[in-house]
């Protein structure tokens, strides 16, 4: 893992001291709310429906056991004993007192964490493939580049007041688990025929009220040019992005309004003036950062674990867990374990302090002290010996964390919605809970197979509904919660934006409607191997409209 150097440590400590002083001046009345609000937002402090909310950055979703224990401690000491993992690999505390914020940021700094740039019109936390450094299909580990981008973008003076927020995602595998095509900049690290590293660069993707798929501006940007090219993109956006209308201020609108060719030309011109200068990435510096992400000491093991196979044969629950929640590792004899934060009937993405401590202990024991947070609101233990899976499974089960539903219909992404969020128009969590209860039967879930349901409580789309195979958007219709269904969205390398199926459904009909969509799929799929998304792409909206609105 990356460890702070004296520069990182210095600026985080300075920021904590600065914010401590700002909070004191606010509480004493020396500073007005109008003066204070932008300052608290720069430190990740929002005022939500019920209380202040603190959003903690988890750079590219990577945590150690020690850091997870600190999050558990903060939840226990300063909050209501739980935290919420978000769709941007961050953690949110929902019930924090303003007066406690400086002490919390001080505690975070002790474990090399902070909340800087988790809000505001700046470059936000850089996200990455949650299987980075472990996945069998990975070409290049994206984490060193995500870390380089983190360092470049942290307190970047030119990009602290952008027209709007700006999000980067990085992957290093052809199978896109980081949803790079719906980010302001999406990067796919890859190798050319000579083995050199470069990046496919996607620009102008995003969700929100105007969902757009990013345009690929470069197929293979040389590794050394990464920062100069990103700086060129940001500079063009900063100068030309709209500031007259916040709903049209993201780079996706600029790309859409100016056209891809014009924007690409502007970026290339800017890049030409930056290339070969201070922002060139020296190979030695890349190697220095990459060394922090060297693989842990893993043993030479046979690909098949006789111990695991015997345990699976004796325990159907373990077999189901391995089937869904263990992914292929690049090293034989190891697996990547998804720890589902989607138990049936519970809020997606929430973990209690006790669960965070349990995951920390299990990571230290079984996963080289590494934990990942996925944008799908789950946790990941990236380096687990197959031999250890039975014991790990038992440990997860004891903590209520062994739900074997990764990628299934109950592994639902949901934003906090109207239960917590001051922007929301409708509740998300209760809908997710009721859907997961409706589909609780594991045999049925496995029969349905891969199916991503994503729920947002407003058009800002934090629940990623636009890229849900089944997307659900909550709206307020004359004071009543209504839910609009979209179908066929996908955030992977085959990225697509879901299409609205028809009129929305009231809260008491939405779960039935989702079930009708799923039943329609089961009725029309060619065979159990044809996933929901594949079937949808074959048949389109019509059969689902007929199933949903037959009586209309």
Binding positions for other proteins, rule: CB under 8 A:
26-29, 33, 47, 49-52, 80-82, 94-99, 343, 346-347, 350, 352, 354-355, 400, 418-420, 427, 429-430, 433, 479, 481
* Least distance between other proteins and beta carbon 36 (Å): 9
Q: Least separation, in Å, of the C-beta of 514 and other proteins?
A: 18
**Of 154 and 433, CB closest to other proteins:** 433
Considering the complex, state which of residue 141 and residue 411 has its C-beta at the smaller distance from other proteins. Answer: 411
Provide the minimum distance between the beta carbon of 344 and other proteins in the complex, in angstroms, as a whole number: 12
Q: How far is the CB of 41 from other proteins (least distance, A)?
A: 13
Residue 490 DSSP one-character state = B
Per DSSP, the three-state class of 259 is coil
What is the distance of C-alpha 390 from the center of its chain?
A: 28
CA-based nearest residue to 369, from 67, 125, 76 = 67
Considering beta carbons, is residue 64 or 118 the nearer one to other proteins? Answer: 118
Residue closer to other proteins by CB (options 156, 509) is: 509
CB atoms within 10 A of CB 544: 26
Q: Is the dihedral of CA 377, 383, 386, 392 positive or negative?
A: negative
Three-state secondary structure call for residue 329: strand
- Rounded Cα distance between 252 and 42, Å, is 23
Cβ 346 to other proteins shortest distance, Å: 5
Closer residue to other proteins (CB): 82 or 321: 82
Closest approach, Cβ 253 to other proteins, in A, equals 28
Nearest-angstrom CA–CA distance, 80 and 83: 8
Nearer to other proteins, 11 or 95 (CB): 95
212 forms bridges with which residues in the sheet?
A: 206
How many residues belong to the chain? 552
Q: Where are the beta strands (DSSP E) in 433-493?
A: 453-456, 470-477, 480-487
Indicate the residue among 419 and 450 with the shorter CB distance to other proteins: 419
- Closest contact distance (angstroms) between CB of 37 and other proteins is 9
Dist CA 27 CA 29 (whole Å) = 5
CA distance 545 to 510: 14
- State in angstroms the smallest separation of the CB of 33 from other proteins: 5
CA end-to-end span of the chain, whole Å? 56
The answer to whether 450 and 470 have CB atoms below 8 angstroms apart is: no
Would you say 168 or 358 has its CB closer to other proteins? 358
């Amino acid at each position: 893992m990356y460890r702070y150097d004296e520069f990182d440590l210095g600026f985080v400590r300075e920021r904590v001291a600065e914010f401590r002083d700002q909070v004191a001046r606010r509480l004493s009345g020396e500073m007005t709310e109008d003066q204070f609000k932008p300052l608290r937002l720069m430190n990740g402090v929002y005022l939500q429906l019920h209380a202040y909310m603190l959003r903690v950055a988890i750079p590219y979703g990577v945590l150690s056991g020690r850091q997870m224990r600190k999050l558990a401690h903060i939840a226990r000491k300063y909050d209501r004993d739980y935290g919420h993992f978000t769709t941007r690999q961050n953690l949110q505390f929902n019930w924090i007192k303003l007066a406690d914020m400086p002490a919390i940021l001080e505690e975070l700094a002790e474990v090399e964490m902070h909340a800087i740039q988790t809000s505001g019109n700046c470059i936000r936390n850089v996200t990455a493939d949650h299987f980075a450094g472990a996945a069998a299909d990975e070409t290049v580990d994206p984490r060193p580049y995500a870390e380089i981008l983190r360092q470049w973008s942290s307190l970047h003076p030119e990009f602290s007041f952008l027209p709007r927020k700006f999000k980067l995602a990085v992957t290093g595998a052809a199978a896109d688990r980081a949803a790079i095509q719906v980010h302001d900049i999406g990067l796919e690290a890859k190798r050319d025929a000579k083995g050199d590293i470069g990046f496919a660069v996607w620009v102008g993707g995003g969700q929100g009220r105007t969902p757009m798929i990013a345009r690929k501006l470069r197929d293979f940007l040389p590794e050394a040019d990464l920062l100069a090219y990103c700086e060129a993109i940001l500079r063009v956006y900063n100068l030309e992005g709209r500031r007259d209308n916040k709903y049209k201020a993201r780079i996706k609108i600029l790309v859409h309004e100016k056209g891809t060719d014009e924007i690409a030309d502007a970026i290339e011109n800017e890049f030409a003036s930056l290339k070969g200068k201070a922002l060139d990435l020296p190979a030695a510096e890349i190697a220095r950062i990459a060394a922090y992400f060297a693989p842990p000491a893993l043993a030479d093991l046979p690909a098949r674990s006789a111990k695991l196979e015997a345990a699976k044969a004796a325990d159907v629950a373990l077999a189901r867990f391995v089937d869904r929640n263990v992914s292929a590792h690049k090293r034989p004899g190891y697996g990547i374990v998804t720890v589902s934060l989607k138990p049936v009937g519970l809020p997606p993405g929430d973990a209690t302090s006790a669960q965070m401590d349990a995951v920390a202990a299990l990571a230290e024991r079984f996963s080289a002290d590494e934990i990942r947070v996925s944008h799908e609101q789950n946790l990941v233990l990236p380096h687990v010996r197959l031999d250890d899976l039975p014991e790990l499974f038992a440990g997860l089960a004891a903590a209520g964390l062994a739900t074997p539903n990764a990628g299934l219909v109950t592994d639902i992404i949901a934003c906090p919605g109207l239960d917590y969020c001051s922007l929301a128009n409708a509740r998300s969590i209760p809908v997710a809970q009721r859907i997961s209860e409706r589909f609780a039967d594991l045999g049925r879930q496995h029969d349905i197979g891969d199916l991503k349901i994503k729920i947002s409580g407003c058009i800002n789309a934090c629940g990623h509904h636009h890229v849900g195979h089944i997307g659900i958007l909550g709206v307020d219709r004359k004071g009543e919660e209504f839910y609009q269904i979209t179908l066929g969205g996908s955030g992977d390398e085959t990225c697509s934006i879901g299409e609205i199926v028809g009129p929305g459904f009231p809260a008491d009909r939405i779960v039935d409607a989702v079930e009708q969509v799923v039943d329609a799929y089961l009725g029309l799929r060619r065979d159990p191997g044809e996933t929901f998304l594949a079937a949808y792409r074959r048949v389109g909206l019509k059969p689902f409209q007929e199933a949903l609105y037959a009586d209309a």
